[in-house]
């Protein structure tokens, strides 16, 4: 458990499963107060209860990251409950893969809305709050898809390339008071692949995801970046399974 003087208020989007859930558990165990957002409030309620039972501090609010006003409300609710927001983890994401020729335009739009606009909405909500306090940390969760493109994943990778660009731009624009970290996991145990509708892409993912990181490994990377002293800004972390060639 971290000392009280080192504890932070951490808001996490997409916290009902996968990396977001693992990050909530790890950061709460480290002594941070976590404020969790997702659409599945039943899962958030259960997670907060588990964290509380283990001696941690957690609360939640329903969140749709595609709604800029809802994200502003989420950050405001975290600040109201805990008095401030030190860290925002932009984690919410979707991955309905398909070949471009399948013309799944609605799925493309959904990925852009959640994976990219959701991150921008988070930045727009948290940045004024952090700048007013003179300190803050934004952690954006991307993917190894931010560095490479694979068949059926062109739009997904495009959103992650964009998150990488936005993160670097925000870092360059910061005067040092706002830290920016991009965490890019390789294949990770999560529900992302469960929502792939294209049959061929779904089958290809089974082989691609045969070797996967536990979500807790990515949570460890997030926790490392968050735990650095204010004068240290960890900008990019890529985490892959050791046995993976991707």
Helix axis angle, 154-173 to 118-133, nearest 10°: 10
Known catalytic membership, residue 224: no
* Count, residues in the chain: 246
- Identified catalytic residue from 82, 147, 156, 208: 156
Instruction: Transcribe the chain into DSSP letters.
Output: ---GGG--EEEEESTTSHHHHHHHHHHHHTT-EEEEEES-HHHHHHHHHHHHHTT-EEEEEE--TT-HHHHHHHHHHHHHHHS---EEEE---------GGG--HHHHHHHIIIIIIHHHHHHHHHHHHHHHHT-EEEEEE--GGGT---TT-HHHHHHHHHHHHHHHHHHHH--SSEEEEEEEESSBSSSGGGG---HHHHHHHHHHTSS-B-HHHHHHHHHHHHHS-TT----EEEE--TT---
Active-site residue set? 156
């Amino acid at each position: 458990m971290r000392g009280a003087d080192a504890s932070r208020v951490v808001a996490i989007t997409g916290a009902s499963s996968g990396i977001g859930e693992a990050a909530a558990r790890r950061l709460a165990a480290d002594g941070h107060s976590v404020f969790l957002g997702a659409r599945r409030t039943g899962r958030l309620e259960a997670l907060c209860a588990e964290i509380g039972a283990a001696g941690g501090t957690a609360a939640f609010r329903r969140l749709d990251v595609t709604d800029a006003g809802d994200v502003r409300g989420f950050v405001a609710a975290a600040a109201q409950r805990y008095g401030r927001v030190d860290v925002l983890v932009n984690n919410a994401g979707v991955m309905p893969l398909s070949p471009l020729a399948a013309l799944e335009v609605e799925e493309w739009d959904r990925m852009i809305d959640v994976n990219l606009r959701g991150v921008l909405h988070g930045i727009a909500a948290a940045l004024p709050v952090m700048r007013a306090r003179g300190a803050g940390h934004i952690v954006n969760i991307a993917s190894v898809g931010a560095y490479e493109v694979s068949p059926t994943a062109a739009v997904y990778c495009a959103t992650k390339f964009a998150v990488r660009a936005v993160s670097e731009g925000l870092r360059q624009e910061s005067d040092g008071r706002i830290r920016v970290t991009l965490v890019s996991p390789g294949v990770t145990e999560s529900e992302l692949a469960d929502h792939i509708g294209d049959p061929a892409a779904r089958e290809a993912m089974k082989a691609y995801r045969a070797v996967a990181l536990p979500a807790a490994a990515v949570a460890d990377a997030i926790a490392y970046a968050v735990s650095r002293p204010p004068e240290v800004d960890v900008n990019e972390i890529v985490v892959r399974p050791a046995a993976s060639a991707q």
